[in-house]
Amino acid sequence: EWTFCEQQYHNGKKNNLKTRMTSIGRFSHDSETQLNPSVPTIFLAMSGTTKPFRADDLIRLWKSKELSKLHPRFEQKIDRTKPGFFTLSTKTVEENITETMFPQVYRQDLSYRIIDYLKKPFDVYDSLWEAQVCCSSDGIGISGAISQLKAQLLSSNFPDKKFFESLVLFRSHHAMADGTSLASGLLDLCDEAAEIKGKIKAELNKRKRKTMMGKLIRFLRILFWFYGGI
């Protein structure tokens, strides 16, 4: 059922979470400050031997997987005049995904980059997310996202191969991710998305059965205690 606050925006009609902002999302938007924006940030580190993964590659992958159609919030912005607080953004994927310089000082540059991404103001009336991609052609283990130990192991195990390292820094406003799983959205970029989702669903079903069985056992114990005491 809708809460009282939600009902006044929706006239009692249930809308999909993809088209409305939750109460927590509105709270995060209203309570944030310029020095403390509500902007979760994640980074992905990738290595390969074919070529570095660049911003153009992420844009092509994003479009080929039709991520904005699967998860409409990726193409929305905040509009407080709308019932669901969301409306279509005019910003394109090409504008949201940009390429930047690769970190050079081990772990320090990457840490500063993440802190900047966390604290930098976010114009939610323009878009709800953005991503930066950077890559290195000088091997892996430079940024610190992939440890130097792992880089040395790969080099020793595959001495005839040249490895490339790429980083994707992704940030979005809390209002976009609240009520849905941001990880599940980015998961759809992977070729193994269907397989991984199948495993997640199977695990959730298993936990659900365990929960139901646990409730049944507790109920039977209460009945046994009640009738056993008569």
Question: What is the predicted pLDDT for the residue at 135?
Answer: 93
The predicted-structure confidence for 13-51, as pLDDT tens digits, reads as follows 444 444 567 676 777 777 777 767 788 888 899 988 888
Contacts of 134 by beta carbon, 8 Å cutoff, 6+ apart: 99, 100, 101, 102, 103, 166, 167, 169
Contact 186, 65 (CB under 8 A): no
Contact 175, 28 (CB under 8 A): yes
What is the three-class DSSP state of 4? helix
Question: What is the predicted pLDDT for the residue at 125?
Answer: 92
In angstroms, the CA 181 to CA 186 distance is 9
Work out the average pLDDT over 128-151.
Answer: 91
Question: What is the predicted pLDDT for the residue at 13?
Answer: 45
| Nearest Cα residue to 96 out of 59, 52, 45, 54 | 59
Whether the full predicted model's pTM is greater than 0.85, yes or no, is no
In angstroms, the CA 169 to CA 131 distance is 5
Work out the average pLDDT over 48-64.
Answer: 93
Work out the average pLDDT over 211-228.
Answer: 66
Mean pLDDT of the chain: 81
